[in-house]
Amino acid sequence: MENTTGKAAMLIVDDVEINRVILAQFFKNDYTIFEAGNGREALDFMMENKIDVILLDLVMPIMDGFEFLAHMKRDARFSSIPVIATTAQSEGENEVKAMEMGAADFISKPYSPTVVRMRVRNVMARMENEWRKVEQNAQSQQIVEMQRLIERDALTGIYDRESFCRKASDLLQKDAGTRYAIVYLDISYFKVVNDLFGMETGNLILKTAGAYFQHITEGVGLAGRMEADHFALCLPLDTLNMEALIQGLDGAVQSLAIRHNILFYAGVYPVSNVFLTVDQMCDRAHMAMNTVKGNYNKRYANYDEDMRALILEEQMILREMEYALEEGQFCIFIQPIYSLKDGRDISGEALVRWIHPLSDIIPPGRFVPLFERNGFIVRLDRFVWEEACKLLSSEKKKYGHVIPISVNVSRLNFYDADLLSFIKGLLKKYDLEPWMFKMEVTESAYTDNPQQILNAIHIFQEAGFQILMDDFGSGYSSLSMLRNAPVNVLKIDMRFVQDIETSHRAAVIMKNIVNMARDLNMGVVIEGVETKDQVEFLREIGCDAIQGFYFARPMPLDQYRERLIGEMAKGAPEIPNYGTTPSEADPVKYE
């Protein structure tokens, strides 16, 4: 019930209705009256309504006055509301106890209208005087504190965006003899951290980062929180050591012992044009940061003018991505996987392409990394999966059997608890089986959040799906990953293949990877095969499944369907079913 009268609100709490009626009559001209039959009803009412004074009976069922006073005392929202206890003349001990628990005064039954009104008036007058004194005593401090607070971010205590930009501008103008740099930082996949561990943990990370930035800029520069997990620093260029800064930041965050790989990325704009606004300087540092965000080997980058052209192109891509998906500009190409032993296609990989009406084909290398950073890859992946299912369904209806297709699954998809049910629903919709729909996960995804990725792999394999580790050998944790990740097939990174003709070491490594996979009952697909010599070498060391330009480039669906005519004439392909199961892998030991 909302108070719209403009009067102060009085809540009368008494289990005897006649007592509430009598007291309401005394105050109906001066207060908006609300009533409750016990302490529980009163608390529930106060959760939704503002109350200025309470008349409280001490003896009630369900929740009596003392328990009610205890709740009020513990809750900062209610602790300042004056409470006047109503008692019988024989309840002297209750009056003392009520006063000890925070009651401002008491009135006795039977009620005298004059006495009751006077006591309420006196209590309200005392409260008003106390509030006035507090306001007067704190006024000068509040002015100073308010000035400080309005400049500071409430969570981290460092400058907020507006104050940082203003103070950095002042610093650059006053200290024109010193060359400064603007550093822009944020956390990779910070939303995932909040989703996995909760806002409290996320806030702890931000406060820790803020304290670190405050420490390293104290007396020499400025630190500000721009928004969310984005920070900016202004530091003298000749004192800036980005390697040490990143290492110190990593150490501060790692001291929190959070079971997740939390990585800050940074961009640096060495201030060469002091006539730019600080916002523009931050934008340039932000551009530099975006060129390395998600890169495990490089955590910061410096801005240059070439970068500006690249970023403008990226902004165009991000601006048009939604429209492009809605208008059907994205499509899939299929690149076959060829069996040397059988002399035919045994699988295919669905690869996304963007057919832009003005720019022709935009290569996936230009948009996929951007979409992985901003999360749009989740929607694009689902589009690709459905397109692949449509193709498989049409194959099945036309030929009675299919050549399986593998699809890429971004690491972001594994943070969706409904991923398995979504894919199962897709297969059911198109009358397909799990073995027809293989899933490729890049090796780098396993290093981002190994426990979650590995758990998801176990679940999908138990449901009958085959998992391929894509780009095997491109990272630094391949062997340890294989010990824990029971993938079915390794797709060898194309850089190994390119080197086997000129590098004896690359050839030895390739041969041993193939032997190791065979011993682990894993399949192997070699990517990037382009020459006859490569094919012959791979045949000699026992490789069978080949993917590369030597046999077929990625092709649009019309061309792939024409290829299917010849492949299907050979009958149903023999599909290898590699038997690695979750039970055969070593226990997962990631912490």
Question: Which has the higher per-residue pLDDT, 499 or 480?
Answer: 499
Per-residue pLDDT, averaged over 238-253, amounts to 94
For residue 384, pLDDT beyond 80: yes
Per-residue pLDDT, averaged over 43-69, amounts to 90
Per-residue pLDDT, averaged over 492-511, amounts to 79
Q: How confident is the model at residue 590 (pLDDT cuts 50, 70, 90)?
A: very low
Q: How confident is the model at residue 580 (pLDDT cuts 50, 70, 90)?
A: very low
Helix, strand, coil percentages, rounded to 5, for the chain = 50, 20, 30
Position 546 scores a pLDDT of 94
Q: What is the pTM of this model?
A: 0.56
Question: Which has the higher per-residue pLDDT, 439 or 193?
Answer: 439
Q: How confident is the model at residue 366 (pLDDT cuts 50, 70, 90)?
A: confident
Q: Is residue 296 part of a domain?
A: yes
Position 393 scores a pLDDT of 97
Per-residue pLDDT, averaged over 268-287, amounts to 91
Question: Which has the higher per-residue pLDDT, 451 or 18?
Answer: 18
Question: Which has the higher per-residue pLDDT, 72 or 145?
Answer: 72
35 and 104 part of one domain: yes
The packing angle between helices 113-151 and 17-27, to 10°, is 70
For residue 102, pLDDT beyond 90: no
Residue 77's domain comprises 8-134
Q: Is residue 19 part of a domain?
A: yes
CB 316 within 8 A of CB 524: no
Last residue of a domain, one of 303, 327, 349: 303
Position 204 scores a pLDDT of 94
The amino acid occupying position 393 is S
CB 325 within 8 A of CB 384: no
CB 482 within 8 A of CB 452: no
79 and 165 part of one domain: no
Q: What is the mean pLDDT of the chain?
A: 86
Q: Is residue 581 part of a domain?
A: no
Per-residue pLDDT, averaged over 44-68, amounts to 90
41 and 181 part of one domain: no
Position 477 scores a pLDDT of 46
Our count of domains for the chain comes to: 3
CB 547 within 8 A of CB 526: yes
Q: How confident is the model at residue 149 (pLDDT cuts 50, 70, 90)?
A: low
In percent, the amount of the chain with pLDDT more than 90 equals: 48
458 and 352 part of one domain: yes
Q: Is residue 418 part of a domain?
A: yes
- The alpha carbon dihedral of 132, 137, 143, 145 has a sign of negative
Q: Is residue 139 part of a domain?
A: no
223 and 363 part of one domain: no
Question: Which has the higher per-residue pLDDT, 17 or 142?
Answer: 17
Phi and psi dihedrals of 571, rounded to 5? 95, 180
Q: Is residue 580 part of a domain?
A: no
CATH no. for residue 90? Answer: 3.40.50.2300
286 and 393 part of one domain: no
The amino acid occupying position 130 is E
pLDDT, one tens digit per residue, over 159-202 is 999 999 999 999 999 988 899 999 999 998 787 788 788 889 99
383 and 487 part of one domain: yes
Task: Read off the tokens for 215.
Answer: 């420490």
501 and 551 part of one domain: yes
Q: How far apart are the first and last CA of the chain?
A: 52
In percent, the amount of the chain with pLDDT more than 70 equals: 89
Position 293 scores a pLDDT of 85
Q: Is residue 447 part of a domain?
A: yes
Position 324 scores a pLDDT of 94
Per-residue pLDDT, averaged over 4-8, amounts to 77
What ranges make up the beta strands (E) of 259-383? 264-270, 300-302, 330-339, 344-356, 360-362
347 and 393 part of one domain: yes
Position 309 scores a pLDDT of 77
Question: Which has the higher per-residue pLDDT, 531 or 446?
Answer: 531
pLDDT, one tens digit per residue, over 284-319 is 999 899 888 878 789 999 998 788 777 778 888 989
Q: Is residue 245 part of a domain?
A: yes
431 and 560 part of one domain: yes
401 and 286 part of one domain: no
CATH no. for residue 282? Answer: 3.30.70.270
Q: How confident is the model at residue 448 (pLDDT cuts 50, 70, 90)?
A: low
Position 476 scores a pLDDT of 47
Question: Which has the higher per-residue pLDDT, 245 or 510?
Answer: 245
266 and 412 part of one domain: no
For residue 407, pLDDT beyond 90: yes
